[in-house]
């Protein structure tokens, strides 16, 4: 018997495959019914001829079959029905078993293609103006009216590669969905899901996510060397949009006393090294703060020298006595 998906099976059901998704089950049914009909009329009850006995007697008053008839024609009739049904099952079940997996896979592929097409249209309506028509990245107006510079919108065609080894984003699909549903407070990324106050249904956001994941390139730009540029320049380009131009905090926490929050006492070198290592780890690995946008990893965007330069810059304005929490939005009045 040919294996499912083999050339023999493909030739056998070539006409059925070309006739649409409803043709294969119809073909199976026709073949099974033909086999059933042959069994019925050749060896089954259909081969009997002659007038029916007791045709004019009501059913409730007819005498039942005699033992002689039950042990001969009655038994033969029952056996004939068994043969007919066995032929039907022997044709229908194998054919259905051979074809059904392919039909299901084709249906899944069709659903996937439909989701990708719908997601592409929804993406162009909702996302392309910021993230680019081809998911190459772009920009959006800064949410603060006092800032003229645009807010960089990341590329989405390599989001899987960017978070491939990330511990803060173990499931990229879920990460994209949650971002679409709830947005990122304080950034131009609005909430699109109904649960977050948007107007897009869960199904529409699933389709957008499917489309984004379907066009991944896996290409990540080489790390920026920042040759000849100071740590302050690196901070301005890579950090200021979330932590504020003066590290006062915006979407991300203020950094004026981040060393103290990581254990720096202000005096001994050991706690200074400990705090510096903690900041380096966050820059290289990222960090996930529940309820806030995750701190992405910069290991793929910045060279080791650039990371050290920005750490030096952060270290240059460290102070003691500020709030012990990673307060978002800058220090309260009187705490500077």
* Domain-embedded: residue 120: no
Q: Both 192 and 277 in a single domain?
A: no
326 found inside a domain: no
Structure tokens at 322: 């500020």
Question: Are 197 and 260 within one domain?
Answer: no
17 and 101 inside one domain: yes
Residues 275 and 204 in one domain: no
Q: Would you say residue 198 lies in a domain?
A: yes
199 with 242, same domain: the answer is no
**Which ranges in 146-257 belong to alpha helices (H)?**
159-162, 172-182, 202-214, 231-238, 240-243
Tokens representing 323 are 């709030």
Question: 119 with 209: CB under 8 angstroms?
Answer: yes
What pLDDT, on a 0 to 100 scale, did the predictor assign at position 46? 56
Residues 145 and 208 occupy one common structural domain: yes
The verdict on residue 327 lying in a domain is no
pLDDT in tens, the chain (336 residues): 444 444 444 444 443 444 454 566 667 777 777 766 776 666 555 555 555 556 677 777 877 777 887 788 878 888 888 887 888 888 888 888 888 898 899 999 999 999 999 999 999 999 999 999 999 999 999 888 877 778 889 899 999 998 888 878 889 999 999 999 999 888 899 999 999 999 999 999 999 999 999 999 988 877 776 677 789 999 988 898 888 888 988 888 889 889 998 888 888 788 999 999 999 999 988 887 655 667 888 888 888 899 999 999 999 999 887 666 555 544 444 444
Reading the block at residue 269, the tokens are 């070198």
Answer whether residue 226 is part of any domain: no
* Residue 129 placed within a domain: no
Residue 125 lies in a domain: no
One domain, residues 247 and 185: no
Number of domains in the chain: 3
State whether 79 and 172 are in the same domain.
no
Contacts 24+ apart (CB under 8 A), 314-319: 314/231, 314/235, 314/247, 314/255, 314/258, 314/259, 314/279, 315/259, 315/276, 316/231, 317/247, 317/256, 318/256, 318/257, 318/258, 318/259, 318/260, 318/264, 319/256, 319/257, 319/260
CA dist 261 → 226, 276, 313 (Å): 28, 11, 17
DSSP state of 254: P
Q: Find residue 302's DSSP bridge partners.
A: 224
pTM score, two decimals?
A: 0.67
DSSP state, 72?
I
Shared domain check, 210 and 280: no
Q: Tell me, what CATH number does 268's domain have?
A: 1.10.760.10
Same domain, 104 and 143: no
Provide the b/e sequence for 225-255 (b: ≥16 CB within 10 Å): ebeeeebeebbbbbbbbbbbeebbbbbbbbb
If asked whether residues 308 and 235 sit together in one domain, one would say yes
Return the pLDDT at 44: 56
Query: Domain range for residue 288?
Result: 231-316
244 located within any domain: yes
Q: Which token pair is 69? A: 């008839």
For position 193, what pLDDT does the model report? 95
Same domain assignment for residues 83 and 148: no
């Amino acid at each position: 018997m040919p294996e499912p998906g083999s050339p023999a099976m493909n030739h056998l059901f070539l006409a059925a495959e070309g006739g649409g998704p409803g043709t294969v089950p119809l073909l199976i049914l026709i073949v099974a019914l033909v086999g059933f009909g042959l069994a019925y009329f050749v060896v089954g009850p259909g081969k009997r001829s002659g007038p029916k006995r007791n045709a004019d007697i009501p059913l409730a008053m007819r005498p039942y079959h005699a033992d002689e008839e039950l042990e001969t024609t009655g038994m033969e009739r029952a056996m004939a029905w068994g043969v007919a049904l066995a032929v039907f099952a022997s044709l229908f079940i194998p054919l259905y078993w051979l074809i059904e997996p392919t039909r299901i896979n084709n249906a899944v592929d069709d659903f996937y293609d439909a989701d990708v097409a719908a997601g592409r249209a929804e993406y162009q309506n909702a996302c392309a103006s910021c993230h680019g028509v081809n998911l190459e990245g772009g920009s959006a107006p800064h949410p603060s009216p006092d800032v003229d510079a645009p807010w960089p919108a990341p590329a989405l065609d390599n989001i899987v590669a960017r978070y491939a080894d990330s511990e803060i984003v173990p499931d990229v699909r879920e990460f994209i969905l949650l971002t679409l549903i709830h947005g990122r407070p304080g950034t131009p990324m609005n909430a699109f899901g109904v649960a977050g106050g948007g107007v897009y249904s869960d199904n529409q956001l699933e389709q957008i996510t499917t489309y984004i994941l379907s066009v991944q390139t896996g290409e990540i730009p080489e790390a920026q060397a920042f040759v000849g540029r100071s740590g302050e320049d690196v901070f301005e380009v890579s950090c200021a949009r979330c932590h504020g131009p003066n590290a006062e905090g915006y979407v991300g926490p203020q950094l004026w006393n981040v060393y103290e929050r990581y254990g720096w006492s202000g005096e001994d070198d050991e706690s200074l090294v400990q705090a510096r290592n903690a900041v380096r780890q966050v820059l290289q690995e990222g960090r996930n703060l529940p309820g806030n946008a995750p701190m992405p990893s910069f290991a793929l965007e910045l060279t080791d020298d650039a990371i050290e330069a920005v750490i030096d810059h952060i270290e240059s304005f460290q102070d003691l006595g500020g709030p012990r929490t990673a307060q978002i939005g800058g220090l309260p009045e009187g705490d500077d």
